[in-house]
């Protein structure tokens, strides 16, 4: 590149920066306070781009619960603390219910599916998802029985290691994935099946890469970074491979479809396609089906399996707590199969599961929101289309609601008499119109898998191993790789 070309690029960039400043001076009048951004790169240098929620929490101490940051040339509003998050997502639910444009998502999903879509498409897909998940067992005895059966399969898998050390990642991923796969495909994979290992591997890699500083920067400078190799290319390749499997699956199911005997969510979607209504072609098309199934598979597998893995790690770290859980299991359940009806008689176990979710802090930054219209919120003006980040980490670590926020402390969910107590700031599934559609299913899975595993095994670390509770890098907080010894109790 010659000197004249370089000078021309510098002039263009300076012109764009000046135009951006002038254009936004009026637009962002009375915008929430925040650190002063640098030209072009914004506040990138002062943020922990691997774990931005930590930087947001520190900034909130100076600027308050409603603050702003600039990543690249994109301004965002950050919400910290229970009061601010609840005010936005409940009291101003419609205004804060959109998703922002993110190039890494737009290139793989468009405005399809249920997690990242907007407008009428999102409303139709969410209605369909909630009603169909209920139709195929969410919250009902039928899916409870399926989870119980799968938990027993997981027990047999753990027993096969005969107390020797093993990595639990793939087997727990497969077990949890089998529950959502049953709803989506009416299928179950063996834990060593290459297909389930491949699918969960693709998801795990993308979850990790989506939290990398490179990908966070890509969303601000995609036009520039598209020219370079990097994690974004791996993400796009993984999504293409995953979507290829989904398309092959529903193409096969379409040839076998009986609208009077719908077996699963894909059958229900394909039936909607054939109804001949305007909605059928506008919303129930193959692109929506591909992305929706991918959304539900990933969401239904990743967060629940990660929570269970945190649970096993924490039980090894605190063997006295593990023993108390097992004592309650013995007292209430004995040697029979754990069922959901037992939970109300097991306040300590219930408190432990809640504290695992709080301490594990699986989705610390939440999925970003965006404003659907101009709004004045808590005295600040936020323009339409602004990215809004509800920092769930700030709720789960808020000292006002949790006495020992940085410790694993089950008493956060127990009263002085040992009864389970709710905590309004405990919102790991978020709240409002964008809260997790599978919350009921996830709660059932966590209780049944956790109690069944603790009923059958005492979990111990590999002799001499140091148990690290620092989360791995990624868009969610997962434990770093660790091995366990599952010692049979019966």
State both tokens at 372: 């659907």
| pTM confidence score | 0.91
Q: Which residues pair with 390 in a beta bridge?
A: 79
Residues with Cβ within 8 Å of 86's Cβ and at least 6 positions away in sequence, in order, are 431
Amino acid 221: pLDDT: 76
Amino acid 138: pLDDT: 81
Instruction: Measure Cα distances from 442 to 23, 184, 391 in Å.
Output: 45, 15, 21
Q: Is the pLDDT of residue 1 over 70?
A: no
Mean pLDDT within 331-338: 96
Q: Is the pLDDT of residue 219 over 50?
A: yes
Give the three-state DSSP class for 479: strand
- If pLDDT is split at 50, 70 and 90, which confidence band does 223 have? confident
Q: Is the pLDDT of residue 64 over 70?
A: yes
- If pLDDT is split at 50, 70 and 90, which confidence band does 16 have? low
Q: What is the pLDDT of residues 24-54, one digit of tens each?
A: 656 788 999 999 999 988 999 999 988 999 9
Higher per-residue pLDDT: 7 or 365: 365
Q: Is the pLDDT of residue 5 over 50?
A: no
Which helix (H) or strand (E) segment holds residue 146: the answer is helix 141-159
Mean pLDDT within 241-250: 94
Q: Is the pLDDT of residue 446 over 50?
A: yes
Amino acid 3: pLDDT: 45
Instruction: Give which of 95, 304, 323, 278 is closest to 181, Cα–Cα.
Output: 304
Mean pLDDT within 123-129: 96
284-293 residues labelled b (16+ CB within 10 A) or e (exposed) = bebebbbbbb
Q: What is the pLDDT of residues 193-207, one digit of tens each?
A: 999 999 999 999 999
Amino acid 6: pLDDT: 42
Higher per-residue pLDDT: 366 or 313: 313
Mean pLDDT within 280-306: 94
- If pLDDT is split at 50, 70 and 90, which confidence band does 290 have? very high
Residues with Cβ within 8 Å of 194's Cβ and at least 6 positions away in sequence, in order, are none
- Rounded (10°) CA dihedral 314, 317, 323, 328: -20
Amino acid 26: pLDDT: 64
Query: What does residue 349 show for φ and ψ, rounded to 5 degrees?
Result: -60, -40
Residues with Cβ within 8 Å of 411's Cβ and at least 6 positions away in sequence, in order, are 351, 403
Q: How far apart are CA 87 and CA 84, in angstroms?
A: 5
Q: How far apart are CA 408 and CA 419, in angstroms?
A: 18
Amino acid 417: pLDDT: 95
User: How far from the centroid of its chain's Cα atoms is residue 407's Cα?
Assistant: 22
User: How far from the centroid of its chain's Cα atoms is residue 258's Cα?
Assistant: 34
Q: Is the pLDDT of residue 253 over 60?
A: yes
Mean pLDDT within 240-245: 95
Q: How far apart are CA 382 and CA 369, in angstroms?
A: 13
74-94 residues labelled b (16+ CB within 10 A) or e (exposed) = bbbbbbbbbebbbbbbeebee
Amino acid 13: pLDDT: 52
Q: Which residues pair with 389 in a beta bridge?
A: 78
Q: Are 321 and 355 in contact (CB under 8 A)?
A: no
Q: Are 218 and 230 in contact (CB under 8 A)?
A: yes
Instruction: Give which of 195, 182, 193, 196 is closest to 150, Cα–Cα.
Output: 182
Q: How far apart are CA 485 and CA 158, in angstroms?
A: 9
Q: Are 68 and 34 in contact (CB under 8 A)?
A: yes
Which helix (H) or strand (E) segment holds residue 55: the answer is helix 52-63
Mean pLDDT within 350-370: 95
3-state secondary structure 264-331: CHHHHHHHHHCCCCHHHHHCCCHHHHHHHHHHHHHHHHHHHHHHHHHHHHHHHHCHHHHHHHHHHHHH
DSSP structural state of residue 40: T
State both tokens at 80: 């910290």
Q: What is the pLDDT of residues 132-157, one digit of tens each?
A: 999 888 878 889 999 999 999 999 99
Amino acid 140: pLDDT: 81
Mean pLDDT within 252-262: 91
Give the three-state DSSP class for 122: helix
Instruction: Measure Cα distances from 192 to 14, 157, 180 in Å.
Output: 56, 10, 18
Q: What is the pLDDT of residues 338-355, one digit of tens each?
A: 999 999 999 999 999 999
Q: Are 477 and 50 in contact (CB under 8 A)?
A: no
Residues with Cβ within 8 Å of 489's Cβ and at least 6 positions away in sequence, in order, are 326, 455, 456, 457, 458
Amino acid 94: pLDDT: 95
């Amino acid at each position: 590149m010659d000197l004249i070309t370089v000078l021309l690029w510098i002039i263009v960039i300076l012109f764009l920066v000046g135009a951006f400043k002038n254009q936004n001076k009026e637009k962002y009048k009375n915008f929430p306070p925040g650190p002063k951004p640098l030209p072009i790169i914004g506040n990138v240098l002062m943020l922990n781009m691997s774990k931005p929620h930590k930087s947001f929490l520190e900034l909130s101490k100076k600027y308050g619960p409603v603050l702003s940051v600039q990543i690249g040339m994109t301004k965002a509003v950050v919400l910290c603390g229970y009061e601010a998050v609840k005010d936005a997502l409940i009291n101003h639910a419609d205004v804060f219910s959109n998703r922002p444009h993110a190039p890494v998502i737009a290139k793989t999903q468009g405005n399809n599916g249920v997690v990242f879509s907007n407008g009428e498409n999102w409303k139709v897909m969410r209605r369909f998802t909630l009603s169909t998940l209920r139709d195929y067992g969410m919250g009902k005895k039928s899916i409870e029985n399926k989870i119980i059966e799968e938990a027993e399969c997981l027990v047999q898998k753990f027993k096969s290691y005969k107390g020797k050390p093993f990595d639990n990642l793939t087997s727990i991923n497969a077990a949890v994935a089998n529950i959502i796969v049953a709803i989506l495909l009416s299928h179950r994979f063996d834990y060593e099946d290459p297909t389930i290992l491949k699918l969960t591997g693709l998801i795990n890699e993308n979850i990790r890469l989506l939290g990398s500083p490179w990908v966070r920067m890509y969303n601000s400078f995609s036009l520039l970074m598209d020219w370079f190799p990097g994690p974004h290319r791996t993400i796009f390749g993984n999504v293409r491979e995953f979507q290829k499997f989904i398309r092959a699956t529903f193409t096969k199911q379409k040839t076998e479809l009986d609208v009077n005997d719908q077996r699963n969510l894909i059958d229900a979607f394909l039936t909607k396609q054939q109804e001949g209504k305007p909605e059928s072609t506008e919303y129930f098309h193959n692109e929506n089906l591909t992305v929706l199934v991918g959304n539900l598979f990933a969401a239904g597998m990743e967060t629940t399996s990660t929570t269970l893995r945190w649970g096993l790690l924490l039980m090894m770290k605190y063997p006295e707590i593990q023993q108390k859980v097992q004592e309650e299991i013995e007292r209430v359940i004995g040697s029979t199969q754990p069922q959901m009806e037992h939970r109300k008689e097991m306040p300590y176990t219930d408190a432990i599961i809640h504290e695992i979710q709080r301490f594990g802090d699986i989705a610390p930054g939440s999925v970003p929101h965006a404003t659907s219209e101009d709004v004045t919120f808590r005295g600040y003006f936020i323009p339409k289309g602004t990215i809004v980040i509800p920092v769930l980490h700030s709720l789960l670590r808020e000292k006002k609601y949790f006495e020992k926020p940085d410790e694993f402390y089950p008493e956060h969910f127990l009263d002085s008499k040992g009864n389970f107590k709710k905590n309004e700031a405990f919102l790991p599934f978020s709240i409002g119109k964008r809260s997790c559609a599978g919350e009921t299913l996830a709660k059932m899975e966590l209780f049944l898998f956790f109690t069944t595993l603790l009923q059958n095994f005492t979990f111990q670390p590999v002799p001499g191993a140091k148990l690290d509770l620092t989360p791995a890098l990624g868009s969610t907080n997962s434990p770093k790789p660790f091995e366990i010894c599952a010692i049979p109790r019966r």
